[in-house]
Amino acid sequence: MSGVLFVTDPLGGLLADVDATIGLMSATQDLGFDVWCCETADLIVADGKLHVRAHRIRLRPRHPAGGDHRWIVDQTWFDEVDAAVLEVAAFDLVQLRIDPPVDERYLHTTYLLDLAGTPVINRPEGIRAMHEKLIALRFPELCPPTHVGADLTGLREFVASVGTAVVKPVDGFAGLDVWLVGNNHAAVSLLESATRGGRRQVIAQQYLPAVEHGNKRLFLLDAEIAGAVLRRPCADDFRIGPPVAAAEIDDADRAIVAALRPHLLRHGIALAGLDVIGGRLIEVNVTCPGGMHKTDALLGTKLSHTMVHHLAESSRQSTFQAEGVFK
């Protein structure tokens, strides 16, 4: 079989004009591979082998909107052409593309994919080992001042020490439940809400004014920089919006990637997205790294195709090795 299996959230919930997973599917199809899809509940272990109830789809044509980060595509963006129960080992590659949080469903999926018998991107063990928001804290010299906890007194003291902090749940994602907390009378109530009364762990990081100049997303492919884009806060929101311009890769970016490279390779993290503000590492996105499809539409790049081509070539090189994703 010459095909790639995408383990995704329900296809009907994906945003066809921006979603990075759909961009990877489109690139996979363009490069001559069949695109197969399943949800987490479609994975089955029988007789010691991992099987899947999968659907083969054909994506409809798409083209950049022009001057925007979106693609123009039919409202019905794919057609189903086949369905079958197959051994996962028969696929050339598996792309694990379900959105965080890494909850019970997500973890159970990674354990099943340990039995895939074919390369999985990203490697399930690596996703379990590298928490997107906490892995950066192994490199405190690269990060803004940070405090992790649920204790209100400790968080209040941290905010007082840095002036203004961005506060987000340890298990948060997609900009949900992110708070901007200043050293003022509102801090206590905001921190109480963020921690759910001291019952939920949060990450508090010093607010970096450099974000006004852009939050840089570095796209990594086998721990090397494949591209970069700038994103800025929206006019009426401190949180980061869609990509707006190409980003220059500088020495600070290279130093961050060099520090992370051994960890990414050891854990089989082939695709990653680093968030960098003012030369400081904020997050390491490994569960379902995104932004490539938007960047390709905005800048005319071919990030999705570059990634799929590289992964397909690597998957032909037999088995995994101890360091790096492929032998």
Q: What is the pLDDT of residues 13-36, one digit of tens each?
A: 999 999 999 999 999 999 999 999
> What's the per-residue H, E or C state across 109-128?
HHHHHCCCCCCEECCHHHHH
Closest residue by Cα to residue 70 from 256, 319, 242: 242
Q: Work out whether the CA dihedral 254, 256, 262, 263 comes out positive or negative.
A: negative
CA distance 278 to 144: 10
Looking up tokens 């950066």 gives 136
Q: Where are the alpha helices (DSSP H) in 147-277?
A: 152-162, 187-194, 251-266
Distance in angstroms between the alpha carbons of the first and the last residue of the chain: 21
| pLDDT over threshold 60, residue 113 | yes
∠ CA 133-246-313 to the nearest 5 degrees? 70
Torsion of CA 110, 115, 120, 123, to 10 degrees: 50
DSSP 3-state of 145: coil
Residue 192, both tokens? 């109480």
Residue 1 banded pLDDT, cuts 50, 70, 90: low
| pLDDT over threshold 70, residue 327 | no
Residue 58, both tokens? 């054909």
CA distance 306 to 255: 23
Q: Work out whether the CA dihedral 208, 210, 214, 216 comes out positive or negative.
A: negative
CA distance 251 to 77: 41
Q: What is the pLDDT of residues 59-79, one digit of tens each?
A: 999 999 988 999 999 999 999
Q: What is the pLDDT of residues 170-221, one digit of tens each?
A: 887 766 778 899 999 889 999 999 999 999 999 999 999 999 888 999 999 9
Q: Where are the domains of the chain?
A: 3-124, 145-207
Query: Whole-number mean pLDDT of the chain?
Result: 92
- 292-299 vs 20-30: helix axis angle to the nearest 10? 70
* Fold designation for 145-207: Dna Ligase; domain 1 (3.30.1490)
H/E element, 314: helix 303-315
Question: In terms of pLDDT, which residue wins out, 202 or 321?
Answer: 202
How many other CB atoms sit within 10 Å of the CB of residue 168?
21
Residue 315, both tokens? 């998957």
The CATH code belonging to domain 3-124 is 3.40.50.20
Global confidence as pTM: 0.92
* Backbone φ and ψ of 155, nearest 5°: -70, -40
